[in-house]
Structure 1
């Protein structure tokens, strides 16, 4: 991930922020959804923490492994 982005409480930009994931943070991907606007969002956890939330797939790069629908 490059850049700093907020994890959200839900898969929409208008949802409340949970925490900020800093540039270079390692994220664990759990699953993804496509919201009503057609945008893909992935439920992630910041590695080494219990902090988790939704992040737009537009902000994710260099993903490894299969993506599973929630």
Structure 2
């Protein structure tokens, strides 16, 4: 987990991520937390949950190597 020191001037975010074993957090536009994940697999699952919650039906862009995410 990397927290931008320019955005986390007093270390609050880094401390929260560490204390909660979080690698990624997804914040809603209204600043409520949609969810958090401990690792890359959890982050992928969290994003899938968001897509489902939004009712997203879109085609994802291919990755630079030509595959799909």
Instruction: With the length of structure 1 as denominator, give the TM-score of the two structures.
Output: 0.29
Max radius of gyration: which structure?
Answer: 2
- Give the helix-richer structure, 1 or 2: 2
- Give the strand-richer structure, 1 or 2: 1
By relative contact order (CA 8 Å, sep 6+), the higher-ranking structure is 1
